[in-house]
């Protein structure tokens, strides 16, 4: 039945109104859909099919974990401060490598750097910066591998800083290199 009189008010378009494949990339002009034109709740994750956004339609300036890219600006990670380890609540440090790459901590007790969980972290690298607060030792879990198979003797003079750079090689191997007394003073 034809509608007589004024045009009916528009209603929101629902997924029932659009058939699969009804809107093609060529049908949508550049900048036709912008963030400013959409209501806060216009798109929900559960309304987008897995194939709705395809790899080749992503902006060239977007970083992708599954293809090569070149950064045109510096990339940097922040250090996660682990605080002062004084042995009162235990002296074992278990890093959460899945959350960050770089750490700082102060030794105020003999410490053990435990084996972190390395699931899906192969290739990750980072840095540990130790600030000595006295004559304390640092021992290492079996995943930490140093040159010649010998863990370093860390600084035991208060105020000295040592750096351990690491690269995750496999689910049970971390190659590590220690540089002792980075400040050269104190």
pLDDT tens, per residue, the chain with 186 residues: 555 556 665 666 666 666 666 666 666 666 666 656 666 666 655 566 655 655 555 566 677 667 777 777 777 788 888 878 766 556 889 998 888 899 999 998 899 999 998 888 999 999 999 999 988 999 999 999 999 999 999 999 999 999 999 999 999 999 999 999 987 755
The answer to whether position 23 is within a domain reads: no
Cα gap 117→171, rounded to integer Å: 8
Q: Are 144 and 174 in contact (CB under 8 A)?
A: yes
The answer to whether position 22 is within a domain reads: no
Minimal CA–CA distance to 141: which of 75, 108, 93, 79? 93
| Alpha carbon distances (Å) from 111 to 102, 165, 180 | 18, 18, 16
User: Strand 102-107 to strand 125-132: parallel, antiparallel, or no bridges (unpaired)?
Assistant: parallel
User: Domain range spanning residue 85?
Assistant: 79-179
The answer to whether position 169 is within a domain reads: yes
The answer to whether position 63 is within a domain reads: no
The answer to whether position 8 is within a domain reads: no
pTM as predicted: 0.63
The answer to whether position 46 is within a domain reads: no
The answer to whether position 112 is within a domain reads: yes
C-beta pairs of 77-85 under 8 Å, 24+ apart in sequence:
77/101, 77/102, 77/126, 78/102, 79/103, 79/104, 79/127, 79/129, 80/104, 81/105, 84/108, 84/133, 85/109, 85/111
Q: Is 57 helix (H, G, I), strand (E, B) or coil?
A: helix
The encoded tokens of residue 52 equal: 């709705």
Cα gap 159→136, rounded to integer Å: 12
The answer to whether position 72 is within a domain reads: no
Minimal CA–CA distance to 119: which of 176, 170, 184, 44? 170
Domain total of the chain: 1
Q: Which residue has the tokens 């003999």?
A: 110
């Amino acid at each position: 039945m034809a509608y007589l009189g004024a045009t009916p008010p528009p209603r929101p378009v629902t997924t029932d109104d659009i058939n699969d494949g009804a809107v093609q990339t060529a049908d949508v002009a550049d900048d036709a859909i912008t963030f400013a034109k959409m209501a806060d709740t216009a798109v929900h994750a559960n309304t987008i099919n897995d194939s709705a956004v395809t790899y080749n339609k992503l902006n060239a300036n977007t970083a992708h974990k599954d293809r090569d890219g070149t950064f045109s600006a510096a990339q940097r990670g922040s250090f996660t401060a682990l605080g002062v380890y004084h042995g009162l609540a235990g002296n074992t440090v278990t890093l959460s490598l899945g959350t960050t790459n770089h750490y700082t901590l102060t030794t105020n007790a003999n410490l053990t750097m435990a084996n972190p969980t390395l699931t899906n972290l192969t290739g990750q690298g980072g840095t540990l910066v130790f600030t000595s607060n006295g004559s304390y030792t640092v021992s290492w879990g079996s995943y930490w591998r140093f040159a010649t198979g010998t863990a370093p003797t860390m600084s035991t003079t208060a105020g000295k800083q040592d750096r351990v750079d690491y690269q995750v090689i496999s689910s049970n191997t971390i190659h590590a290199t220690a540089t002792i007394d980075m400040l050269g003073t104190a």
